[in-house]
Amino acid sequence: MKWITSRDLPTETLTRAEKDTFAHGLGRANSAVRPKAWVDSFVRSMVFAEERPKLNRLELTQDGELWVGPFIPSEFAMLGRAGLGTPAEPSTWSVLGANGKWLADITLPARFRMLEAGRDYVLGVSRDEDDVESIVMLRLLR
């Protein structure tokens, strides 16, 4: 192992609405491949953690930087469509250098889902007010 990085993050309760949103998306994602009765039974039997996960996504750049992303409940509202949904709110990612040291926190806009990060850009999918997707590249200034 090269390095260990740790950071204290606040604990947040997973809300009933977030659990319902996830269960609904999971049911929708499986409805085409499983019988409805099976899906309904599976969703009813789900047991959730009481606390929201602190982290959910990791992206490794070609420069060896690690982007660590938060758990974003609204991404899972889109389960059943291709890939993850776009977060309804801005999301803040922590960027760690190849040596494990924190470099920066970068806040990405609402309705933008990162697909790739580079040294001077972030590439992703953005949705406008009409829910139309566009490929967007955001420039990073160092």
- Give the model confidence (pLDDT) of 118-140 as tens digits: 999 999 999 888 888 999 999 99
Contact 62, 12 (CB under 8 A): no
Is 0.75 topped by the overall pTM? no
pLDDT tens by residue, 58-99 = 899 998 999 998 877 666 544 444 445 677 789 899 999 988
Q: How far is CA 98 from CA 5, 64, 66, 73, in A?
A: 11, 5, 7, 29
In a shared domain, residues 37 and 87: no
Q: Structural domain of residue 107, as residue ranges?
A: 53-142
Place of tokens 């789900």: 46
Number of independent structural domains in the chain: 2
**Taking Cα atoms as reference points, which of 107, 110, 138, 135 lies closest to residue 122?**
138
Q: Report if residue 5 sits inside a domain.
A: no
In a shared domain, residues 67 and 119: yes
In a shared domain, residues 104 and 58: yes
